[in-house]
Amino acid sequence: MSISSLQQTSSYPNQGLITMGTGPASGINYSQILSALQQYLSEPITVLQTESEVYKTQLSAWQTIGKDLTNLNSAAQALASPSLMQSYTATSSNSSVATATASSSALPGTYSFTVNQLAQANEIGSQGVASTSTTVAGSGTGTFNITVNGTTTDVTLNSTTGYTLSDLAQTINNSNAGVSASIINDGSANSPYRLVLTSNTTGTNSAISITNNLSAGTVNLNLNSTSINPTYATGTLGSGDTLPASAGTYTGTQTQTYNFSVASGGTVGTNAITIDWTNSSGQSGNFTVPSTETGTTSYYIDGATSSNSTNSGIELSLTNGTTLAAGDKFALDAFNPQMAAAQNAVINYGNDYIQSQTNTVSNAIPGVTLSLASTGSDTVTVALNNSSINSDVSSFVSSYNQLITDINSQLQYNTTNKSSGPLGGSATLQNLKSSLMSFIAQEAPGLTGNNGLASTYGLTQDTSGSGKLSFNSSTLDSILTSNPSQAQQYFSSLFDGSPTANGVAGSGGMINFLNTYTNPANGIILDKTNSINSEITNLSNQISLQQADVQQQMGMYAKEFSQLESYIGQMQSTSTSLTNEINQLP
């Protein structure tokens, strides 16, 4: 029988030629025997592995406690910080006028003021032109200079940019000149398209100044002074009738259209001619050209002899011998480039007037930023941010209770299975819990009576003895309203061991106590985890050595069984030979 015909199940060092299975000669189940031997030899390894798992669960438990302590320490530091009592709210009584935010430098109090004027961006517009494709420059004909807040940007039109009104607007927007360019259609019948420039920022410092050096265009854009466009017919003129020419210097503040209608016509210099008018603002009037006109004369449209608020400086020029018929209609467009003046926000606070380049004002109320929305009166109340403080205290209580819960789960004894957590019986945990409870139960360092008791500030321990805290925010709110400095003294004393409100750390505070556990260089948690990791490493090394030893022994046994099976096979062969020889004897 061939030894190699045994069924293979496993291999070991030095096992020889045998392949484990059932011996073909002996019928012995070597696999079963070897398995039993390996299980027996591995029992010490199983003990070590069980011990290692115990250490690993302890390590995980200490890591959880360490994380809880770190969270609690962070929450405690937030309450010990002087900035705890430097969080304020700023509430506006009239949010349609202004809203407010308070910084840590704000001073609690009530501040009344009036917004007299909002800051606004400068906006200017050109006279109207017939189309967006109207050329405003010829080839190679100068620059369009824009000055905002002391910075001048030269905008140049060329064959690449184009020379139309639309091209100029696009080139301005690509020039980073501090303004935004747009083209509006004001609906007028003759020249409705206007270039409008709006400063990107508000305030008087951002007023726009234009120097137009472009030339050779169909129109020469004017964004600096008022202008009056030529007259144009708005109805059918009588045969041979001649429109009056526009004249004068426009003094109006509005850009608007003036519509004219001939009430009584005739020939200038022969007949008295009366012309009625209205404008976009709703004004109206008339004037009469006397029959004695002998040359070319400009007439104010209200018949006055000088510019006034009615005629706004607009004149019509009529020439002797020209004719107008009753019912002839015509119009002109008058332009003021100032569409919105650059102006600062103005706030009347007490007996002072405060100006700001923007509608975000930080120089009116100490530590408060106002966002202005409209003119009107408002009152801003600055107060301690109780909600923020309550949130910090709630975070501390939550972190504290999580730590206590995890400590209890380790220390609590289960009477059913007669066991506790992996850290059950730990004197370190018991001391940690009792110390924390003492911090809360006793007077804070340096404070006496109710001033030093947690309950005065809404913190009470669970009466069941679990060690957990509960928090009554209403109790804390009452102290924060009546005596915020006392609340700060308590938290500073409890956590820093200092009864002062300056946050200077002292001995005896909860933070110093927690640091003895969480210190990354020599803290108790680090010491515990390092010690356990050392034990786990040591056990792992022992397990590896014993596993190698078991493998070595199993190889030796496998080799011996192989030799045994070979010997049994040889004996069976000898027995068979002898039997055959005996059977052949006479």
Q: Which helix (H) or strand (E) holds 68?
A: helix 43-80
User: To which residue do tokens 């209205």 refer?
Assistant: 278
Residue 129: exposure state from Cβ atoms within 10 A (0-12, 13-18, ≥19): buried
State whether residue 13 is helix, strand or coil: coil
Strand partners, 5: none
State whether residue 59 is helix, strand or coil: helix
DSSP conformation letters of 133-171 = T-B---TT--EEEEEETTEEEEEE--TTT-SBHHHHHHH
What pTM does this model have? 0.74
Amino acid identity for residue 40 in this structure = Y
Q: What is the pLDDT of residue 534?
A: 95
Q: What is the pLDDT of residue 161?
A: 83
Residue 438 neighbours by CB under 8 Å, 6+ apart: none
Q: Are 157 and 168 in contact (CB under 8 A)?
A: yes
- The residue count of the chain comes to 586
Q: What is the pLDDT of residue 192?
A: 97
Burial letters 458-490, b for 16+ CB under 10 A, else e: bbbbeeeeebbbebebeebbbbbeeebebbbbb
Q: CA-based angle 511:517:519, to the nearest 5?
A: 85
Residue 106 neighbours by CB under 8 Å, 6+ apart: 88, 90, 365, 366, 367, 368, 382
Residue 516: exposure state from Cβ atoms within 10 A (0-12, 13-18, ≥19): middle
Q: Which helix (H) or strand (E) holds 197?
A: strand 193-199
Query: Cα(173)–Cα(182) distance, rounded to whole angstroms?
Result: 9
Q: What is the pLDDT of residue 557?
A: 86
Burial letters 193-206, b for 16+ CB under 10 A, else e: bbbbbbbebbbeeb
DSSP conformation letters of 538-573 = HHHHHHHHHHHHHHHHHHHHHHHHHHHHHHHHHHHH
Q: Determine the angle formed by the axes of helices 43-80 and 386-411, rounding to 10 degrees.
A: 160
Q: Are 128 and 157 in contact (CB under 8 A)?
A: no
Q: Are 220 and 212 in contact (CB under 8 A)?
A: yes
Residue 446: exposure state from Cβ atoms within 10 A (0-12, 13-18, ≥19): middle
Phi, psi for residue 241 in degrees, rounded to 5 = -75, 145
Query: Cα(344)–Cα(119) distance, rounded to whole angstroms?
Result: 4
Q: What is the pLDDT of residue 561?
A: 84
Query: Cα(522)–Cα(514) distance, rounded to whole angstroms?
Result: 12
Q: What is the pLDDT of residue 505?
A: 40
Query: Cα(311)–Cα(331) distance, rounded to whole angstroms?
Result: 14
Q: Are 72 and 396 in contact (CB under 8 A)?
A: yes
Q: Which positions of the chain have pLDDT values less than 70?
A: 1-23, 25, 498-508
**Which tokens hold the place of 34?**
């070897």
Phi, psi for residue 397 in degrees, rounded to 5 = -60, -40
Q: What is the pLDDT of residue 409?
A: 92
Strand partners, 171: none
User: To which residue do tokens 């103005």 refer?
Assistant: 346
DSSP conformation letters of 89-113 = EEEES-TTTEEEEE-TT---EEEEE
